[in-house]
Amino acid sequence: MEIDGGDLKRHLWRDLQNQRDALLSKLEGLPERELRLPRTPTGTSLLGIVKHATNVEHGYFGRTFGRTLEDPALVTDQQQADDPQADWYATEHETAAGVIDLYRRVQAFADETIDATTLDTPGTVPWWPERRNVITLGRLLGYVSLDLARHAGQADILREGIDGAVGWTRPDDNVPQGYDWPAYVTKLTAIADRF
């Protein structure tokens, strides 16, 4: 069955939205400190992942197509130059609710770009090397969805480490119910110990 361009755009757009939803679901029900606390040796936090995703979507679905969202909460080029990790953490002046709200505004802004263009509409990614910085909306939808999927996966692992919550968008929505996880971990540890 062949999917026409309009259907393909809807499918790609839906995939992007699914990744957005999965990422945001990992923040639900946690207090501010848990969302901000660095969970890896490189400082990755749940809220930081969302702030990064916000700026990624703004850049790819905005500047790439000659659009900008004037919002002082977005990380500026100067802030990024001063601190290459500026889009990976919430400052003391930002709240979790504010970062999430900004991400939703950026999603709406990105959706306007997606809605107003076709899959073969070209854009130019200003921060990519000139030899390969022209990309179509179709390729960009796939690229950003994959990037968000990677970050949603990071968020899955971070959230499980915080309170044991697992699942795609809701606790336990795609894992076996009633499974003996401690026994499973013991089994896998025993296998690993043989090497």
CATH code of residue 103:
1.20.120.450
| Residue 191 within a domain | no
How many domains would you assign to the chain?
1
| Residue 49 within a domain | yes
| Residue 183 within a domain | no
| Residue 89 within a domain | yes
- 117-158: pLDDT as tens digits: 999 999 999 999 999 999 999 999 999 999 999 999 999 999
181 CB-contact burial (10 Å; exposed 0-12 / middle 13-18 / buried 19+): exposed
| Residue 24 within a domain | yes
| Residue 47 within a domain | yes
∠ at Cα 43 (38, 46), nearest 5°?
55
| Residue 176 within a domain | no
**Model pTM greater than 0.85?**
yes
- 158-183: pLDDT as tens digits: 999 999 888 776 666 777 888 898 99
Contact 38, 92 (CB under 8 A): no
- 17-30: pLDDT as tens digits: 999 999 999 999 99
Question: Which domain range does residue 114 map to?
Answer: 5-164
| Residue 52 within a domain | yes
Residue written as tokens 């029900």?
Answer: 29
185 pLDDT higher than 50: yes
The CA-based dihedral angle spanning residues 137, 138, 139, 140, taken in that order and rounded to the nearest 10 degrees: 40
**Backbone angles phi and psi of 172, in degrees to 5:** 65, 25
Stated length of the chain: 195
